[in-house]
Amino acid sequence: MVKEITGKELDELVGKGEKVVCDFFATWCGPCRMLGQVIETLSEEFSDRAQFVKVDVDKNGDLAASLGIFSIPDVFVFSDGAVKAHNLGFAPEEQMRAFLEENI
């Protein structure tokens, strides 16, 4: 299961240089719920390559603003303490798998 964390917890993971896939979402967002299911499935497949987490942008607005997140869902890949890539909007499983293959 993909764990929901706070912005502070994400900063700590990224600061340690961990490979992190973060799904930025909101509970009221329909496409976020659909993508959440895709991320949940793929997190099992890629669990040996990255840590999968999710952050609610409504509860962590400062972090979302600092990353330039103004639309959701938005999936970020962090590597070596920095943003490596991000994918804005809903993506079907095959498209998200290709994004993850390329970036983690």
Residue range 13-36, pLDDT digits in tens: 999 999 999 999 999 999 999 999
Q: For position 57, what pLDDT does the model report? A: 98
Please give the share of the chain, as a percent, with pLDDT higher than 70.
100
Query: What CATH number does the domain containing 55 carry?
Result: 3.40.30.10
Domain of residue 24 covers 3-103
* Nearest-10 Cα torsion for 44, 30, 19, 11: -140
Averaged confidence pLDDT in the chain:
97
Q: Give the CA distances from residue 32 to residues 42, 81, 82, 93, in Å, rounded to whole numbers and listed in that order.
A: 15, 25, 23, 13
How many domains does the chain divide into? Answer: 1
Exactly one of 20, 32, 39, 77 is catalytic; name it. Answer: 32
Q: For position 37, what pLDDT does the model report? A: 97
Q: Is the per-residue pLDDT at 1 higher than 90?
A: no
Active site residue 29: yes
